Homo-oligomer: A and B are copies of this chain.
Amino acid sequence: MPSLILSRRDLDFLLHEWLDVESLTKRPRFTEHSRETFDAVLDLAEQIATDHFAPHNRTADLNEPRMVDGKVEMIPEVKKALTVFTDAGLMAGSFDEEYGGMQLPHTVGQAVFAWFKAANVGTSAYPFLTMGNARLLLAHGSQEQIDTYVRPELEGRWFGTMALSEPQAGSSLADITTRAVPQDDGTYRLTGNKMWISGGDHELTENIVHLVLAKIPGGPPGVKGISLFIVPKFLVNDDGSLGERNDVVLAGLNHKMGYRGTTNTLLNFGEGVHTPGGQAGAVGYLVGEQHRGLTYMFHMMNEARIGVGVGATVLGYTGYLHALEYARTRTQGRPAAAKDPASKPVPIVEHADVRRMLLTAKSYVEGGMALGLYCARLVDEEQTAENEADRARAHLLLDMLTPIAKAWPSQWGPVADDLAIQVHGGYGYTRDYPVEQFYRDNRLNPIHEGTQGIQSLDLLGRKVVMQGGSGLALLGETITAATARAAGTEWAGFAADIDAAVARMGAVTATLWGAGDPAVTLANSHVYLEAAGHLVVAWLWLEQALATGTADSDFHQGKRQAARFFWRWELPRVHHRFDLLESLDRTVLDTPDRWL
């Protein structure tokens, strides 16, 4: 039986038949690699995800981490699974060989890690955060910081966090109040409370490397006064051994609807519970320069946002695969044409409405996977393309696509899980079947790493106007390069519809920014995000359809059918949204609180 976690066949299609990741092996960074090494690591990921991550997904949901005597207790399966993961070298998969990594292309690395998210999103969050943390330090930390913190992270001995939010400041980082006071020895002492810190405390590893946003007194107000600090749970001696306990303590755990396997914490910094060096205050080490913390953090956040998008996709993907399996084995009712009540019930997949749900979900999750891997491919281009112009183009396009890569799957991945429950009927609503957990788990994704609203402001308020609109122009060119390839094929009509939508997006963007009042321009940013997202995924469905060429296996036919579905059923939805935006609709803007 094929896996119900993810479809390896689809990943192979996306990686090889479409994105041609094998061509990357010609580049200096990837010369050690080949189709065989890519296959081997994907095989390994599937096997470990299947054998060590999936089996405790429900157990972790039923037995969430607890705070006992100030420590986090959790089921032992989490540590066992993560040990297998790190022992297999997967923590460092796409990192430099110099740091013990495999130097995999990001595109392959994203596909590899997708297995773990789909199998057990709660457990996978620990390495996910650690890899993001390590990547940020590699980009912006000093060599000493890299040697001290990144190496143990990539060996899986220490895990990392990103500590941004505070109880009074979720999305609004300008309002954080954690203070970092410079000390004579060049370190800082941090004081404040951080909220929503995933992996913020646990006994999985001997140390935890917090990356903390804080303000240095006297700095500029708002986001321009934010600096970034390394705050380890245990201070580290010069020889790399653990020293004193730092003054950062677990203040409480958040109890969530889903995603329960991931400890989510409230952390107190500098309350004097511990006194490193005989002094209260959490010892922190500045990363890079003062007041540039948010810029550095966005380096990690952009990667995290694409990763969250992939997570939302694969939670929907595994829901879809479970629903498909259920629909093929559960018999009930008869086709509309067969009215004889004595005839045998058929598998429910034969009912058109069940197929509607499955095809809808397929178009969302395979579309989302294409989006995630396309963005990962851009990361590879950004870092390893031969000339600077190509790297800059990839960087710009990735910047443009990031809010969509985060938000689109976070909106439609949960819908795939909703449909997966519906396909199961009453059984899907019980805890005897896994789909209800996928649904609960996936509900986090529209919230964390920047809500949908934040992503919509990023897209319309920043990305489409950056560099004089060159990001938007590049997206348009990239899409129309694909639609041009559709000329003379059965996809010409799809391409024409996409072209029309691209043209509208340009016109609507101009109208919005011509409104003369940013409040009016941005009032309906969420609608803009939805339209742009559907347009982008329509383009990626066209790309997939074209990549099937003349292959006529069931797999390829299914790809083409899902592309047709997205063309006929989903793409037309953008026009109502563009109509609304074009009218500079003020309904929301003109609604005072007292009318609600």
A-to-B contact residues, CB < 8 Å: 165, 168-172, 174-175, 195-196, 221-224, 254-258, 324, 328, 331-337, 341-342, 345, 347, 349-356, 358-359, 362, 418, 421-422, 425-426, 428-432, 436, 439-440, 443-444, 446-448, 451-453, 456-457, 461, 518-519, 522-526, 554, 557-558, 561, 564-565, 568-569, 572-573, 575-576, 579-580, 583, 585, 587-591, 593-596
Known contacts A431-B255, A431-B256, A569-B580; A355 and B196 CB within 8 A of each other: no
Contact partner, A447, options B425, B575, B576, B585, Cβ 8 Å: B425
A596 partner residues in chain B, CB cutoff 8 A: 324, 349, 355, 358-359, 362, 558
- Which listed residue, B221, B587, B593, touches A342 by the CB 8 Å rule? B221
Is B422 touching A593 in the complex (CB atoms < 8 A)? no
Name the contact of A448 in the complex, choosing from B223, B426, B431 (C-beta under 8 A).
Answer: B426
Q: Is B568 a contact of A585 with CB atoms below 8 Å?
A: yes
What is the distance, in angstroms, from A231's C-beta to the closest C-beta of chain B?
21
Which residues of chain B have C-beta atoms less than 8 A from A335's C-beta? 519
Bound-state CA distance A222–B169 (Å) is 61
Residues of B within 8 A of A351 (CB): 453
Given contacts A256-B430, A558-B596, A595-B561, contact A353 B456 (CB under 8 A): yes
Q: Are B561 and A436 in contact (CB under 8 A)?
A: no
CB-based contact B429/A443 at 8 Å: yes
Known: A171-B332, A572-B576. A588 touches B352 (CB 8 A): yes
Whole-angstrom distance between the alpha carbons of A40 and B255 in the complex?
Answer: 40
8 nearest A-B residue pairs (beta carbon): A222-B341, A558-B595, A353-B453, A172-B333, A257-B436, A352-B523, A554-B594, A221-B341
Copies in the complex: 2
A589: which B residues are within 8 A, CB to CB?
352, 355
- Distance A196 CA – B425 CA, assembled complex (angstroms): 11
Chain B: minimal CB distance from A239 (Å): 39
Which residues in B have their C-beta under 8 angstroms from that of A221?
341-342
Most-contacted residue by chain B among A341, A418, A456, A595 (CB, 10 A): A595
Question: Given that A223-B341, A593-B328 are contacting pairs, would A170 and B451 also be in contact in the complex, using a CB cutoff of 8 Å?
Answer: no
**Chain B positions within 8 Å of A518 at CB level:** 336-337
Q: How far is the CA of A558 from the CA of B432 in the complex (A)?
A: 44
Centre residue among A196, A256, A347, A591 by max chain B CB count within 10 A: A591
Task: State the Cβ distance, A404 to closest chain B Cβ, in Å.
Answer: 16
| Residues in B neighbouring A175, C-beta threshold 8 A | 332-333, 345
Known: A175-B333, A257-B431. 4 other contacts (CB 8 A): A168-B331, A337-B518, A355-B596, A565-B588
- Max chain B CB contacts within 10 Å: which of A255, A350, A429? A429
A572 CA to B577 CA in the complex, in Å? Answer: 9
Contact assessment for A426 and B170 in the assembled complex, using a CB-CB cutoff below 8 Å: yes
Distance from A515 Cβ to chain B, minimum over Cβ atoms (Å): 12
CB distance from A262 to the nearest CB of B (A): 12
- Most chain-B CB neighbours within 10 Å: which of A195, A426, A594? A426
Please report the C-alpha to C-alpha distance between residue A588 and residue B562 in the assembled complex, in whole angstroms: 9
Give CA–CA (A331, B341) in the complex, Å: 60
Q: Across the interface, which residues of B come within 8 angstroms of A431, CB to CB?
A: 255-257
- Inter-chain CA distance A353–B454, complex, in Å, is 9
Q: Which residues of B contact A223 (CB under 8 A)?
A: 341
Query: Which residues from B are CB-within-8-Å of A583?
Result: 568
Q: How far is the CB of A47 from chain B (nearest CB, A)?
A: 25
Q: Provide the bound-state CA to CA distance between A347 and B592, in Å.
A: 12
CA distance A596 to B322 in the complex (A): 12
- Tell me, rounded to whole Å, the shortest Cβ–Cβ distance linking A16 to chain B: 20
B359 touching A257, Cβ below 8 Å: no
What would be 24 A-B contacts, judged by CB atoms less than 8 Å apart? A169-B332, A170-B426, A172-B332, A172-B333, A221-B342, A222-B342, A223-B341, A256-B429, A257-B431, A258-B429, A324-B596, A337-B518, A337-B519, A350-B593, A352-B519, A352-B522, A355-B589, A358-B596, A359-B587, A359-B596, A561-B595, A564-B587, A565-B587, A575-B576
* Chain B CB within 10 A, most for which of A195, A257, A334, A335: A257
Q: Are B353 and A525 in contact (CB under 8 A)?
A: yes
Taking the closest CB of chain B, its distance from the CB of A258, in whole angstroms, is 8
**CB-CB nearest in chain B for A558:** B595
Partner of A573, one of B447, B525, B576, B585: B576
**Least distance between A408 CB and chain B CB atoms (Å):** 16
Nearest CB of B to A129, in Å: 16
* A580 and B594 contact, Cβ closer than 8 Å, known pairs A174-B341, A337-B518: no
Q: Which residues of B contact A590 (CB under 8 A)?
A: 561
Q: How far is the CB of A319 from chain B (nearest CB, A)?
A: 13
Closest B residue to A196 using CB positions:
B426
Contact status of A453 and B526, CB under 8 A, knowing A336-B519, A576-B572? no
Q: How far is the CB of A505 from chain B (nearest CB, A)?
A: 17
Q: Evaluate contact between B430 and A333: CB separation under 8 angstroms.
A: no
- The docked-state distance in angstroms from the alpha carbon of A170 to that of B331 is 10
In the assembled complex, the Cα of A451 lies from the Cα of B418 at a distance in Å of: 13
B-chain residues with CB within 8 Å of residue A345 when the two chains form the complex: 172, 175
Measured CA separation A258–B447 after assembly (Å): 21
